[in-house]
């Protein structure tokens, strides 16, 4: 399965926020190690096949995100899609893992799809309802530091979706979400947020308000054009950083075939 990367625009710039962030003291989370319950999903190529063509496409995405702005890269990135099943969770996890693989970066992947959370399952972390984002939203006495976990050998840190909420959208629209994200900004170089698809529920619109940019995953030969148009219209155009084509055909030219055969 191939992925085509398209960064559609440079997006808004945040010089005031960047100046403020440079003055923030660095924090080092003593992240809890979560025991492995199952192997990671095969689609997590950043873990299972780091030398593959697919994994290289995520490195291309990392490079383009890093170079998509003249005055600073987006640090809080929401990943969504128009419809369920378009591959947004797989993309979010692979992106977080790839960002964390470069240098000494600290990267947090937050599962904000509290209706159908899947990050913990794909990572082989077992219980999908470990305390997480929902618990932070409901209990202001909880700290992000207490709930962030690591799942070796991945270098990225993870925040699960947490408990089941009756109204996730109302919780995500609260001022508490902004507080959580600002705490994450102080501790991590990048924050990747897996959000629900835009079409079925309004959760992503709330999350996008605290993100620097939104990546929209489009499933090749699957996502209806009208659904994609409706999703893009529902989002703030100033926040849409790019489109990710998921599931396209892997190039089968003689050049690519020889190149990847030699790497293996």
pLDDT of residue 175: 93
| Three-class secondary structure of residue 217 per DSSP | strand
What is the domain extent for residue 79? 2-7+37-256
The span from the CA of 34 to the CA of 40, in Å, is 13
CATH code at position 101: 3.40.50.300
pLDDT of residue 251: 53
Question: Does residue 31 sit within a domain?
Answer: no
Q: Which residues pair with 80 in a beta bridge?
A: 216
Cβ atoms of 111 and 122 within 8 Å: the answer is no
* Tens-place pLDDT, residues 150-160: 877 778 899 99
Question: Does residue 249 sit within a domain?
Answer: yes
Question: Does residue 20 sit within a domain?
Answer: no
The span from the CA of 206 to the CA of 177, in Å, is 9
Question: Does residue 19 sit within a domain?
Answer: no
Give me the sign of the Cα torsion angle 217, 222, 225, 229.
negative
Q: Which residues contact 153 (CB under 8 A, 6 or more apart)?
A: 47
pLDDT of residue 152: 73
Question: Does residue 24 sit within a domain?
Answer: no
Question: Does residue 26 sit within a domain?
Answer: no
pLDDT of residue 153: 73
Q: Split the chain (264 residues) into runs of 10 and give each run's mean pLDDT.
A: 50 44 47 66 88 92 77 82 93 94 87 90 77 93 90 84 90 93 93 93 91 94 93 92 79 46 45
- Concatenating the DSSP letter of every residue in 21-60 gives HHTSPP----PEEPPP-SPPPTT-HHHH-TTSHHHHHHHH
- Concatenating the DSSP letter of every residue in 127-172 gives -TTSS-HHHHHH-TTS-HHHH-EE-TT--SEEE---S--S-HHHHH
pLDDT of residue 13: 47
pLDDT of residue 22: 41
Global pTM reads 0.83
The count of domains in the chain is 1
pLDDT of residue 35: 61
**The token pair that represents 189 in the structure block:** 């170089």
Question: Does residue 14 sit within a domain?
Answer: no
H/E element holding 247?
strand 240-248
């Amino acid at each position: 399965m191939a992925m085509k990367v398209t960064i559609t625009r440079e997006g808004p710039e945040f010089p005031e926020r960047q100046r403020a962030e440079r003055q923030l003291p660095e924090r080092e989370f003593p992240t809890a190690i979560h025991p492995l319950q199952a192997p990671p999903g095969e689609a997590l190529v950043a873990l299972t096949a780091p030398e593959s063509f697919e994994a290289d496409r995520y490195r291309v995405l990392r490079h383009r995100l890093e170079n998509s702005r003249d005055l600073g890269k987006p640090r809080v990135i929401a990943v969504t899609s128009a419809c369920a099943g378009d591959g947004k969770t797989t993309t979010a996890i692979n992106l977080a893992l790839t960002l964390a693989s470069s240098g000494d970066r600290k990267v947090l992947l937050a599962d904000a799809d509290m209706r159908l959370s899947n990050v913990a399952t794909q990572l082989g972390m077992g219980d999908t309802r470990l305390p997480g984002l929902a618990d932070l939203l409901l209990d202001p006495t909880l700290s992000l530091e207490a709930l962030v976990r690591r799942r070796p050998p991945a270098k990225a840190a993870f925040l699960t979706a947490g408990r089941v909420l009756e109204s996730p959208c109302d919780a995500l629209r609260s001022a508490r979400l902004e507080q959580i994200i600002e705490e994450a900004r102080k501790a991590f170089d990048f924050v990747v947020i897996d959000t629900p698809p835009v079409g079925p529920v309004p959760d992503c619109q709330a999350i996008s308000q605290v993100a620097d940019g939104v990546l929209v995953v489009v499933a090749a030969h699957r996502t209806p054009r009208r659904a994609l148009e409706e999703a893009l219209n529902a989002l703030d155009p100033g926040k849409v950083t790019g489109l990710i084509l998921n599931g396209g055909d892997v190039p089968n030219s003689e050049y690519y075939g020889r190149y990847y055969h030699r790497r293996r």
